Chain A
Amino acid sequence: MDDQALKTETLPETWSVAGRTFTSRLIVGTGKYKDYAQNAAAAKASGAEIVTVAVRRVNLTDPNQPMLMDYVKQDEFTYLPNTAGCFTGEDAVRTLRLAREAGGWNLVKLEVLSDPKTLYPDMEETLRSLKLLVKDGFDVMVYCSDDPVYARKLEEAGAVAIMPLAAPIGSGLGIQNPVTLRIIIENAKVPVLVDAGVGTASEAAEAMELGCDAVLMNTAIAEAKDPIRMARAMKYAVMAGRDAYLAGRMQRKLYADPSSPLGGLI
């Protein structure tokens, strides 16, 4: 193997967010699975090092029901607590303070949504929440619309990662606006993750080919007919997309360019 090939093969490529370094560029959610056992198996198959989790009241009528932590174990995954279900900055701060107390994590995912039909982020409230959380000592990865102006404002307000949507949460519509994502990626100095909307492996690869640092998904895996196989497909798609981005794609041309030499024809 020549030097270049060796380097490409063996150097683990990593990315960092708020001083924490990861090898996997796939973050997976832990919602919507048939059960926690399937959830854990899919998370393992995806190769993800980070999983998103939600904070909810314990079930008082059945305190012995299965708990996420018994399956998706904290010694195997970094928990990224989210603010799903929060519609105001105060709700988000309250939820994440509880998450910090439950697990001691400072690295969190902020999502402040607008209406239940689109689950589109309320960017004005998201920005305000971010400022509250930063003041409270959190490292905040922010779910946001694919708006380059707001992406810049979030970064200026101290977001440790910008996470624009590819399409609405759980829609599986794929990347609707590669242009704005590309602009966000080019201008950000913090990691950019495509979060939400990816439906299948080719779309995860497409997100990575745009140059984002990682992809976050939940429904694409959880609602696949075979979630564990889809988790594995996503793992390879993200790796392939990253490699393709680093390799640099060929120029698009209008006309054909033969791959076999024209000279020496019989």
Chain B
Amino acid sequence: MQQALLGKNGVKMVKILLNGEEREVTATTLTALIDEIGLEGRKVAIEKNLEIVPRSTYLSTAIADGDRVEIVHFVGGG
């Protein structure tokens, strides 16, 4: 079994591909991930491994090593 990644304080880290960038996070749910990257309260939409995740299930949606997560929002456009 692969050894778990450990962060500074011995917290287990999860390595995910977030918006196309490799990133190590401590969050294990989408709710925690949103908090960790400073997007709490923002209106975003999330896709995990190419599947849309309904907002109501963020808390119960686990993230694991290798997950591909996309977090998007609305920007100006024509």
Contact = CB atoms under 8 A, between A and B. Distances in A.
Interface string A57-71: 110100110011100
Interface in A21-59: 29-33, 36, 39, 52-58
B74 A32 contact: no
How many B residues touch the partner, as a band?
A: 20 to 34
A56 B75 CA distance: 7
A30 B71 CA distance: 20
B77 A58 contact: no
Interface in A100-114: 101-103
A97 interface: yes
Contact of A63 (B39, B50, B53): B39
Interface string B35-73: 001110011111100101111000000000000001111
A32 B77 CA distance: 8
Please report whether the interface of chain A is mostly helix, strand, loop or mixed according to DSSP: mixed
Interface in A55-104: 55-58, 60, 63-64, 67-69, 79, 81-82, 84, 94, 97-99, 101-103
Interface residues of A, number: 36
B10 interface: no
B18 to A, nearest CB: 7
Contacts of A53: 74-77
A196 B46 CA distance: 30
A98 B72 contact: yes
A260 B63 CA distance: 81
Contacts of A32: 76, 78
A19 B16 CA distance: 42
B29 to A, nearest CB: 17
Contacts of B78: 29-32, 52, 54, 82, 84, 169-170, 196, 218-219
22 contacts: A30-B76, A30-B78, A31-B78, A32-B76, A54-B74, A55-B73, A56-B72, A56-B74, A57-B20, A58-B39, A58-B72, A60-B18, A60-B19, A63-B42, A68-B76, A79-B74, A94-B47, A98-B47, A99-B74, A102-B73, A218-B78, A219-B78
- Give 6 closest A-B pairs by Cβ, nearest first: A54-B77, A29-B78, A218-B78, A102-B45, A30-B76, A101-B45
Interface of B: 18-21, 23, 37-39, 42-47, 50, 52-55, 70-78
